[in-house]
Amino acid sequence: MAVEKITMPQLGESVTEGTISRWIVSVGDKVNKYDPLAEVMTDKVNAEIPSSFAGTIKELVAEDGDTLAVGEIICYIETEGGGEAEATADAPKEENAPAPAAKSEAPSTPAAQEDADAPNKRRYSPAVLRLAQENNVDLEQVKGSGAGGRITRKDIQAVIDSGNIPTADSKPAAAQAPVAEAPKAAPAAPTAPSAPAAASAPKAAQPVNVPVEAGDIEIPVTGVRKAIAANMLRSKHEAPHAWTMIEVDATNLVEYRNSLKSEFKKKEGYNLTFFAFFVKAVAQALKEFPQINSMWAGDKIVQKKDINISIAVATDDALYVPVIRNADEKTIKGIAREITELANKVRAGKLTSAEMQGGTFTVNNTGSFGSVQSQGIINYPQAAILQVESIVKRPVVMDHGMIAVRDMVNLCMSLDHRVLDGLVCGRFLARVKEIIEKMSKENTSIY
């Protein structure tokens, strides 16, 4: 049998890593091709990783909660298809008869015996390396409980919790003594670059020492929350955020939508929300100001042809950004339908990775929570995000000094100042304002 590896897939555009939220299979389980192996979370999507082969799970390299880069190995599968590979692997044990004699002639050392008993001891996952490095744990002195003596994250955590942390300086003298015999007695030693690997592992942020008192509740950080935090941090660190806001009179829009909503719901089966009108207005303005529909690519700016609007959909513990593709080509009714369908998929846990990819600009309906002013963090690597706030009644000074009560809404835009400047953003927002203020029964069709 051959042993195949399964790696962390790229589950979305700009996604560079994923977190194993739950293994669906265990070592020894038989799987068919395309069977789900694990649930993985990123900042954009929660998805299942399918098996690329039919066979038996040989080893789970990553554990629940581990975050791995795209392309890193997560497990090994022993595939069906004859016993040639297995026979070849076992041949040295049975054909090399002189091996036992040679072994008896060589001096036996504890290190050599440990290598024989735990062939996987030095195969460290990224999570194990990071945790060991952060706490100065000498992995050579840790006994692994995983398959083949592999050291797991739980093993490292148990050592840390015990307070008796083995360091390189604390290694017993007896273990350090037979230096000259090491190459002969322990041939596996050169394949254990634990120190260089640990040094190359990215150093995670040190935990903050927050005092926990009686009555305080400690809530573990989930994988999806870690992924969201990492993406937000990247956006704030890499993109110099600027912010601007415009006030829009939505009185005509409110009257028009309210006159349609009951009949529309009865006819179409879903709600005609204000948000659909705003998404349509933004898509139209993006077509007229394509600079806004751009992304920073290091040595160039990529101006996207398609106008794909990402919309933010929140659940109790996470935030997802499904995409309305070619929003400029859709009617208000079509946009309203997609908003409803995508939001339902998010809340039912049925959103696919394909439905999260390709967004070029994000519109966030913060007004649904009653917000009137906010500064959004850009959905990396897009160049801007627009927050649509609550529509509220306010006294407004009209022409000729008259005061009237109007339905007003604030539109708040965060922009990547590497890509966009205030002038083009100001003109873009002014155009969105103009489109919204002209929406009425006479000027706008929802079909």
- Residue 307 Cα to chain centre, angstroms: 23
Q: How far is CA 230 from CA 42, 225, 226, 379, in A?
A: 10, 9, 6, 12
**Residue tagged active-site, from 117, 306, 317, 421:** 421
User: DSSP characters for 149-166?
Assistant: GPPPHHHHHHHHHHS---
Q: Of the candidates 82, 78, 32, 87, which has an alpha carbon nearest to the alpha carbon of residue 59?
A: 78
**Separation CA 299–CA 107 (nearest Å):** 60
Residue with tokens 């998010």: 346
Exposure string of 91-124, with b = 16+ CB inside 10 Å and e = fewer, is eeeeeeeeeeeeeeeeeebebbebbeebeebbbb
Q: What are phi and psi of 382, to 5 degrees?
A: -65, 165
Contact 417, 240 (CB under 8 A): yes
d(CA 443, CA 133): 64
Whether 237 is catalytic: no
- Residues 6 or more apart whose CB falls under 8 angstroms from that of 163 comprise none
CA atoms within 13 A on the CB side of 250: 24
The partner residues of 310 in beta bridges, in order of sequence, read 323, 362
Our answer to whether residue 169 is catalytic in this structure is: no
3-state DSSP percent of the chain in helix, strand and coil, to 5: 40, 20, 40
- Nearest by Cα to 184 from 302, 257, 105: 105
In a 3-state reduction of DSSP, which class is residue 6? strand
From the list 90, 117, 306, 417, the catalytic residue is 417
- DSSP letter assigned to residue 205: P
Contact 372, 390 (CB under 8 A): yes
Task: Count how many Cα atoms sit within 13 Å of the Cα of residue 124 in the half-sphere of its side chain.
Answer: 28
Residues 6+ apart with CB under 8 A from 406: 249, 251, 393, 394, 395, 396
Active site residues: 417, 421
